[in-house]
Structures are given as structure tokens and as C-alpha cells.
Structure 1
């Protein structure tokens, strides 16, 4: 069987790696389509990359931000498990227009590859709608996989479908794919949102890229160790570095600054802060008592896979970061320092001290880890992919 994986962006490549490798280890041929900015990450994972599109289109998409006057995402209600989808429908359709524009810039390359390579199945990141176009053009089924966020392109009926989506398929002489299918979902029950899209659960296996273990990581600091991370693609730490460092200075904890390149740009550090250079986040978090981060699902799920409680500091323009932070609180596994609290002096420090000082947050994180460990591993999902592939 030939399986074409389609990644969305650099920070999304890690979500594809465990299932792609499980598929390859089961004896199938695997290719991973990625934008130019993401190709090196695919190669570093030992997988074969298929470059698609040009760098300029990807950079234009990455630079897009929610307008300042746009409605902010709803807070997750207390009864969220039974309530409405905590990602407003108008936001889903608005975000879809951005994803369609990006997909249109990638479609020529990916369709040409799919028609030449002739995969039996396309497995696509739900943010990479171009995977649906390639599957339709190759005449094969497609399976989506999520990244613990509801940001994906799907249309439930013809009335929702924008003309740009239809034109993208018509360019290649195929019918647009409309309606919900099934998504592979690594989100554990404590963090799962209600959805109209059927889900197939899969255990989250952290993949944070290659690296090596520094010698100091093997030594116990003799006090709490706090990881401060800005994720792979966010500018959150760069924009707030002085504020964040001021907040953690003097904490009775070793603060590890896990931001690649930070040692060359931030100047003198507080006495209790050290930098790591590039270090796979999972290797560090296995030794940490707390993760402070921007609200990215990749960083957050890596933390929960290791049972680490969290303090999130979401960017004011990133809706998905707000939502992740709210769900951390709903799981009783941490605190979300929302943007309106960013400006309150000491808010982050207080949140860190609260999480470190209250055992219930660590227990909440361990509870999420147990849920993750109870889910089917990627190897068990290969049979599902085989059943969905064209015969």
C-alpha cells in the first residue's frame, strides 16, 4: 500500500511522524508532502519528503493574524462536554477561507505528485485541505488527522461551500469533497471537544525532533524545575521575553528556557534561569515539574504525555492558544494566564507558584497522562488505514 501523508506546517509535522512511521514499519510505502519551510523537519524524522508550493505563499499564510476588531473566541463553558462546540461556526468558516487560499497555492504540485505516484490513500492534516484535493484528483480515499484543535476545513452541506473551494477541485476536473468523513484524533477525553465529525482515537506519541541529552539534565536541581517554552513557530516568547524573565527571576525553582537561539539574543539571564539551545521538548519535560508555554497544542500534549502540569500564556491574536489554555483549566491541570492578565504585574509568577504549590494540578496532569496511555497506539491504527485504502 502506498500512503501519502500531507502535513500543514512546521509545527504540524511532528503530529504526522508517529503514524507515518507506524505505517512504514508495517511494510507500506510512505511519502510526506510538506511546504518548503517544513521539508527539513520531515527529513530529520527519517521520512521521505515531497516539497510542495513555494516559500512565499507559506510565509504569507504564517503572517496572517486575526484582526484586532475580530470577535475573540468564546471561553469554554463549565458544561463544555455537553454544550456547543467551543469553536464558533463562523470562526470555522472564516479560518477555512485562509486555509483554502494556502491550499490553492500548493495544489498544482501535490496533485501532479499524487497522479504520478498513485497512492492508495491520502492521510492529511485537517489544516491541509490540499490533501483532499490531491485525493480527489488521484481518485483515492482520504483520512484526516487532527492536532487536538478544531481548526480544519470541512463543509457539512452545499450551502456552506465557498466558490473558491469548488474552483480548487474543478481546476483538476474532479468533484469537490463535501461532508464529514472521519478524523484520527489523539486528543484524550479530558481535553476533547464535542464535534460533528466522527473521530477514531489514537494515542499521542510525542515527537519533538532529533537531539541529544546534555549532561546537566541528568542531575537533579534540588528544587522544582520549570520549563519555559515558546513552541516551534510562535513569536510569543520573542515579543515578551523581558516580561517573562522578570516574572520568573527569583523564583524558588530552576527555570529552563527552552527556546532555540535564545542564548544568542536575550543577554544576561536571572541567576535561576538557564538556556538549553535546541533540545527535544520531551527529553526535557521528563525531568520537569511544570511547563510554561504559549498555549500550543504540540507543546501542551508533550507536557501531558509526561504528566506535567501547565501554565499557558496565549498570544492575544491566536484563538487556538486561548482554547488550549481554557482546556488545561477545564482538566484541572494548570492555569491559563489570558491576555487581559498579561498586563497585571506578577500574574505569571503567581500562577507558577500556585501550580507548583497545589498538588491537585499535578494530579490533574497525571490523570490526563493516564487517559493518553489508555488510547490505541499508532501501530493499531494502521489496520484502520488499510481498511480505508483503495483496493
Structure 2
């Protein structure tokens, strides 16, 4: 079977498609992965045929922000939402649809699997008369900019003769990596759902020295704000709050935070720019993070308690759902102090009810179909 996977690239929501694409290749399918230029190295590291198309979300945002008079950082939220609407509802879909059309014409795939936020993937496939399915990146949460994106998507969808809503995958089946117990009830009630176990993927890399053979009697906290939401003030408060506990702290600062801004850290804290997260989580006892879908789903699968420090986008919704599931607590911006983080982290490490809930959720994740199992079922959708 000839398959095309397509993702926007350049941000965390594109990574969840890689495990299924790899499994599809290993199952004998002819797989091509179409994405923006800056994400091609990640696809190549996975051993997949990488095909450039479209532009990255970062490029699209730069184009929009260049039109702003004055300092873009001073824009009120409603203006930022409009920019997000134009980026995800117009700029990216049009660019990807245009880039995908010649690829689909040349390769004539039997099925297109498009990232849930990549409407252009659906437009190009439907215009070419090729069956397609969506692949989400976690819980189907409502964004602050949801109304703006929804309205802009309606405009571009009409241009391509497509009916329906992006959030409903235009009526297409959806590969869903979120365990049902924490997925949005409305989505569960209406979607043509293809459950898929969330399997983390990161480029091959070595764990920091001493992690794999460390003393497991001493807890290890993993602190990250992901690749897009780095904030030195938040990281500093979290480091101070965690370091006073009897544990070790591994911090992935991400590409947007200069470690010098964090100052001198205590001896039980280690700073790394990047770690292979999927390989690290089995050695971790507590995850302290922003609430990105990748880290949230990874912690679910690893059966780990989570302390959320949500920064934006879908992170608040992920935090709220995880708290409701009994596997997490959150510290929102107005309450974010080192002392609050100390208290919450101590509770998560010792609360048996949280650990029981986390184990139960991990068992639910383990029972979901694996990428290999879903890969062999893909011909049914072509």
C-alpha cells in the first residue's frame, strides 16, 4: 500500500505521526513523509522518505508578525488570536495544499494520513480524490484562538470544495493517541476513532551520564517546558522549588532558554539543553512540565505523576484533564512560586492515590493498539 504522511513540522504536534509511519514502513507499506523543510532532518533520522512541502508554523508566524506595527509582544490577546487564525486557518493550509498536490500526483498514494492541525493535507487529498485520515497529537482540547482558526478554516475549506470542520477532521477517521478515560467526551461521542497507543519518539541519543545506572531509591524529577515555551523565570522558580527536596532534578532547558539565565544551580540539579525524552521517562519518578501533549501522553504511558506549569495553547486543558484523572496537580501562573512547587511536588511523590491512578492510566495506555497493529489495519481505510 502506498501511504503519504504529512505534518506541519517545526513543533511538537508533528512528532506523534512518526511511530505510525515507521511501523507502516516496517509492515511493508510504501511510505513517504511530507513536511516543511526544517522538520525533514527529524524524518530522515527515523529512516523515512522525507519530502519537502509547505512552510513551517514558525515561518508563517514570522510572515504575519512582520505586518504588525510596533512591538508584536505588546499585542492584546484578541489580536494574537487573529494571527493564529490566519496562520493555522489560511497560510499553512494553502501552502501545504499547494506543495502536496504535485507529490500526490506523482506518487498516487492509496491513503493520506495528515496531522490534525494540517488542514492543507486534507484539502490536497480530497481534491485529488484520495482517501485520508487524521492523526491527532493528544486530547482534543479547545484553544483560546479556536474560534478564529475555525472561521479561517471554513474560508479555505470552501476554496477547495471541502465541507466540515478541522476539529472534526472533516468527517474523516481519526487516529487518536489519547486514552479514552481522559479524552474529550464530545470527541469520543462523535469521532470515527482509531485508537493508537501513544508511543514517544525522539531522535536517537544517549541519556545523560549516570541516569541509567542511578540509585532508584532516590527520586528523580524531570523538568521541562518543551521546545516552544521556554521561560527562564518559570524554570528558575521550579528549580528552586524542587531542589530543596530529597531528590535529583534533571532539567531539559530547551532551545529557547540560555542556561546562563538560570544562574548557579544546586548540586542535585543537572541542566541539559535536550534529552531523549522517550528513553528518559522509564527512569523518572516525577514529571514537572508545561503540559504539552507529547510530555503529557508520555507520562501517561510511563505511569508517572505530573506537576503541570501550563503556559498556553492546549496546556491548561491537558492539566485540567490530568488533575481530574487523579494523576496530577497544577500550579497556574498567578500561584507559581518555588514554595508552591515544593509543596505540590512533595505531595505527588508521597500520595499513594496519585500513584495508583497513574498506574491504572498506564495500564489503559498499554492496552491500546500498538503502532504495528494499527499499521496493518491501514488498508481498510484506503
Normalised TM-score (structure 2): 0.84
Q: Is residue 250–residue 272 contact of structure 1 (8 Å, CA) maintained in 2?
A: no
Offset at residue 116 of structure 1 (A): 1.8
Note closer, same or farther for the CA distance 1:301–1:181 as it changes in structure 2 (3 Å cut).
Answer: same
* SS of alignment partner, residue 171 of structure 2: coil
Offset at residue 68 of structure 1 (A): 4.7
Which of these residues, 155, 178, 181, is aligned with residue 187 of structure 1?
Answer: 178
User: Which residue number corresponds to residue 165 of structure 1?
Assistant: 157
Which of these residues, 322, 333, 339, is aligned with residue 346 of structure 1?
Answer: 339
Q: Is residue 303–residue 362 contact of structure 2 (8 Å, CA) maintained in 1?
A: yes
Deviates more, 1:22-31 or 1:245-254: 245-254
User: Which residue number corresponds to residue 85 of structure 1?
Assistant: none
Offset at residue 294 of structure 1 (A): 0.3
User: Which residue number corresponds to residue 271 of structure 1?
Assistant: 267
Q: How does 1:16-27 map to 2 (within 5 A)?
A: 16-27=17-28
Q: How does 1:14-163 map to 2 (within 5 A)?
A: 14-54=15-55, 57-60=59-62, 68-69=76-77, 98-101=87-90, 102-150=92-140, 162-163=154-155
Offset at residue 99 of structure 1 (A): 1.6
User: Which residue number corresponds to residue 87 of structure 1?
Assistant: none
1:321 aligns with 2:315: yes
Gaps of at least 5 residues in structure 1 are 71-90, 170-174
Note closer, same or farther for the CA distance 1:66–1:22 as it changes in structure 2 (3 Å cut).
Answer: farther
Normalised TM-score (structure 1): 0.82
What is the rounded CA distance, in whole Å, between the counterparts of 2:84 and 2:60 in structure 1?
15
What is the rounded CA distance, in whole Å, between the counterparts of 2:251 and 2:365 in structure 1?
26
Cα offsets for 1:260-300 (capped at 9, x unmatched): 46685334212221124432112221111100000001011
Note closer, same or farther for the CA distance 1:229–1:345 as it changes in structure 2 (3 Å cut).
Answer: closer
Cα offsets for 1:368-387 (capped at 9, x unmatched): 10000011111221243201
1:257 aligns with 2:251: yes
What is the rounded CA distance, in whole Å, between the counterparts of 1:8 and 1:136 in structure 2?
18
Note closer, same or farther for the CA distance 1:256–1:123 as it changes in structure 2 (3 Å cut).
Answer: same
* SS of alignment partner, residue 379 of structure 2: helix
Note closer, same or farther for the CA distance 1:199–1:54 as it changes in structure 2 (3 Å cut).
Answer: closer
Root mean square deviation of aligned Cα? 3.1
* SS of alignment partner, residue 139 of structure 1: coil
What is the rounded CA distance, in whole Å, between the counterparts of 2:114 and 2:132 in structure 1?
7
Cα offsets for 1:60-103 (capped at 9, x unmatched): 38989997555xxxxxxxxxxxxxxxxxxxx9x99765422221
